[in-house]
Amino acid sequence: MEKTGLQTAPLGETGLEITSVGFGAWAIGGGGWEFGWGPQDDDDSVEAIHRALELGVNWIDTAAAYGFGRSEEVVGRALGGVSESERPHVFTKASLVEGPARTAVHDLKRDSILGEAEASLRRLGLDAIDLYQIHWPIPDRDIEEGWGRSQS
């Protein structure tokens, strides 16, 4: 299939050129959690990602909080068969972790962010995340710690 001519624009000063439309992966996190969209078929989700890539989309937005890892796992599965040259940019987020009764709890502590990044890389099957974001940066008192650079 021929790719569409989706326009691209620079993503700030990152050097990344992204299409005007991306693939949002919130819903593929499924149901059974505080912000879930209900049951999702993982095979259908993988097919939807592949179709978006076929049509020229060059970025996927997901988050560790979407299904508490499920969305990232499905994105990783979809990208498993994609060549490095065809791989889209992958954006994900940190700071919402699983709390009691599968609710989202805010945590911007350094150790949590580092652990979340490692878990996201593993679920996505990637060596690097193209854009790592803070998901709903609450509480304000911890924003500096969550945004800070690692000393390692």
> Residues 23, 33, 59, 66: which is the catalytic one?
66
132 is catalytic: no
Nearest to 68 by CA among 12, 26, 109, 24: 26
Residues whose CB falls within 8 Å of the CB of residue 80, separated by 6 or more in sequence, listed in order: 125
Q: Position of tokens 């490692």?
A: 118
What residues are annotated to the active site?
66
